[in-house]
């Protein structure tokens, strides 16, 4: 979309931090409990399931892109996040949606490929 507003800086910072932590839990270099304030309970379970799949090697974040979702008003309160990470010599993709609620960002959807 040509007139798409840029994502707010706090959304970008949150997206980068949250996805890095998701990848580190998958890694496994970080305890899953640290994700609880950042993502919905269903997504915590999804990350646990993904981390439990028999894989070797640590996961490393490559890049993160954040795109505003049409706010329908003056303020952007949702964004789509696209990222990639490597694990065991393979590149994987991640897609997520973050939303702002009560002055705080939270990941509400996550797909790990």
pLDDT, tens digit, 9 for 90 and up, residues 36-89: 999 998 998 888 887 766 466 778 889 999 999 866 666 778 999 999 998 888
Percentage of residues in the chain having pLDDT higher than 90 = 43
At 107, the pLDDT band (50, 70, 90 cuts) reads very high
Structure tokens at 99: 């939303």
The structure tokens 């993502």 sit at 39
Find the DSSP H helices in the chain: 9-26, 41-52
At 10, the pLDDT band (50, 70, 90 cuts) reads very high
Query: Is residue 11's pLDDT more than 90?
Result: yes
Query: Is residue 105's pLDDT more than 90?
Result: yes
Predicted TM-score (pTM) of the model is 0.84
Number of H helices, E strands in the chain: 2, 4
Query: Is residue 23's pLDDT more than 90?
Result: no
For residue 41, the Cα-to-chain-centroid distance in whole angstroms is: 14
Query: Is residue 110's pLDDT more than 70?
Result: yes
55, 88 Cβ separation under 8 angstroms: yes
- What is the model's pLDDT at position 109? 95
- What is the model's pLDDT at position 66? 95
Can you say whether residue 103 is alpha, beta or left, with left for phi > 0 and alpha for psi between -120 and 50 degrees? left
Structure tokens at 91: 């590149």
In angstroms, rounded to a whole number, what is the distance separating the alpha carbons of residues 24 and 32?
Answer: 9
């Amino acid at each position: 979309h040509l007139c798409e507003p840029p994502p707010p800086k706090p959304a970008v910072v949150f997206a980068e931090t949250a996805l890095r932590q998701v990848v580190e839990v998958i890694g496994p270099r970080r305890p899953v409990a640290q994700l609880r304030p950042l993502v919905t309970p269903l997504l915590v379970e999804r990350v646990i399931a993904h981390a439990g799949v028999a894989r070797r090697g640590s996961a490393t974040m490559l890049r993160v892109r954040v795109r505003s979702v049409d706010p329908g008003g003056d303020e952007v309160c949702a964004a789509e996040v696209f990222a990639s990470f490597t694990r065991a010599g393979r590149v994987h993709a991640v897609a997520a949606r973050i939303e702002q609620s009560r002055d705080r960002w939270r990941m509400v959807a996550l797909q790990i490929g």
